Chains A and B, each alone.
Chain A
Amino acid sequence: NAGVMQNPRHLVRRRGQEARLRCSPMKGHSHVYWYRQLPEEGLKFMVYLQKENIIDESGMPKERFSAEFPKEGPSILRIQQVVRGDSAAYFCASSPPSGPYTGELFFGEGSRLTVL
């Protein structure tokens, strides 16, 4: 039973390039969350998606960042024109469809973006 799968695990980009991070949730899960972890900091919420819908993007930077979770395929976090400050670990987490509240998120191992 595969957990949350993220790829790539490590990504190196030069300033101005685009970064695409992919996340496949656990089987049966339809809610996806993206978090960013900067060095020496905790995780910061970025966006919450359900299939084909962005539910809450209050943590997303206004420019250059976008996320999607299409009907088929993984969720994608896209960062355009990357800058050095985007260097971080990006974690995806998933949770089951609506039901009794459990509060538990299942995390992937993260994608570590380095911007040169």
Chain B
Amino acid sequence: AQSVTQLDSQVPVFEEAPVELRCNYSSSVSVYLFWYVQYPNQGLQLLLKYLSGSTLVKGINGFEAEFNKSQTSFHLRKPSVHISDTAEYFCAVSDGFGNEKLTFGTGTRLTIIP
């Protein structure tokens, strides 16, 4: 069975400061990892994903994440946040066995302070 842990339920950050949202996973098989963003009253939108290859993946809106197999982590980072980054961020894992069934973490609410 797979699971995802997002340790921080809320992260307040000043505008233009850097941010890191933490995600750890557990899985007994090869994994595929994702970060989704949810703006208020909207559905989820894919930010970035790791399927294979380079462990540093870049996504939309200036976000990037690094897959660390030894630490079973997939932390999300952005060097300088903007007010528009205020949203809920979800880390997810898939076993990739022919479908896109995802196991999600509980989410991290990112609040940008002007």
A residues adjacent to B (C-beta < 8 A): 4, 31, 33, 35, 40-45, 48, 55-56, 91, 93, 95, 98, 101-105, 107-110
Q: Which residues of chain A are within 8 angstroms of B107 by Cβ–Cβ distance?
A: 41-42
Q: How far is the CB of A76 from chain B (nearest CB, A)?
A: 18
Instruction: Please state if A91 and B43 are interface contacts (CB–CB under 8 Å).
Output: yes
B103 touches A103 (CB 8 A): no
Please determine whether A43 and B104 come into contact, CB atoms closer than 8 angstroms: yes
List chain B positions with a Cβ less than 8 A from chain A: 4, 6, 9, 32, 34, 36, 41-46, 49, 51, 90, 94, 96, 98-107
- Cα distance A41–B105 when bound, in Å? 8
Whether B43 lies near A41 (C-beta < 8 A) is no
- Partner of A107 from the list B4, B6, B44, B49 (CB cut-off 8 Å) is B44
Which single member of A4, A44, A102 contacts B43 (CB below 8 Å)? A4
> Would you give 26 A-B contacts (Cβ < 8 Å), ordered by A?
A4-B43, A31-B99, A35-B104, A42-B6, A42-B104, A42-B105, A45-B101, A45-B103, A91-B44, A93-B43, A93-B100, A95-B100, A98-B98, A101-B96, A102-B49, A102-B51, A103-B49, A103-B51, A103-B96, A104-B46, A104-B100, A105-B46, A105-B102, A108-B43, A109-B43, A110-B42
Residues of B within 8 A of A41 (CB): 106-107
Given A31-B100, A33-B100, A103-B94, output 4 extra A-B contacts at Cβ < 8 Å.
Answer: A93-B100, A95-B100, A102-B100, A109-B41
Residue of B with least CB distance to A100:
B51
The residue on A at minimum CB distance from B51 is: A103
Q: List chain A residues, Cβ under 8 A from B9.
A: 40
Do B34 and A103 touch (CB < 8 A)? Answer: yes
Among A4, A42, A95, A110, the one with the most B-chain Cβ atoms within 10 Å of its Cβ is: A42
The 7 A-B residue pairs whose C-beta atoms are closest, nearest first, are: A107-B43, A42-B104, A42-B106, A107-B44, A43-B104, A95-B100, A109-B43
In the bound complex, residues from chain B placing their C-beta under 8 Å from that of A103 are 32, 34, 49, 51, 94, 96, 100, 102
